[in-house]
Amino acid sequence: MFFGKIFIVFSLLITFLFLLILFALFGFIDGSYLNYQGMGWEQTGKPILFLIFICFLLLLLFFYV
């Protein structure tokens, strides 16, 4: 049970870092990464809340499934 919780925490951390790198590559966090390919997200004010929302959904997925 203890190792299961450690595994859940590490998988959440890895998932969060992967999403952070992915969003940074596509310009979701900062439009200066790939400004020519930012998909119009720069005009909405760099939605870090969207990233937090996705991570919250992943937390719910890991803890309730």
Please state the domain extents for the chain. 2-64
* Interatomic CA distance for residues 65 and 25, integer angstroms: 30
Q: Do the Cβ atoms of 62 and 45 come closer than 8 Å?
A: no
Residue matched to tokens 């790198």? 21
pLDDT surpasses 60 at 5? yes
pLDDT of residue 34: 46
pTM above 0.75, yes or no: no
Identify the residue with better confidence: 1 or 19.
Answer: 19
Positions of E strands within the chain = none
The mean pLDDT of 43-60, rounded to a whole number, is 68
The conformation of residue 40, written as its DSSP 8-state character, comes to T
pLDDT band, residue 53 (cuts 50/70/90): confident
3-class SS of residue 30:
coil
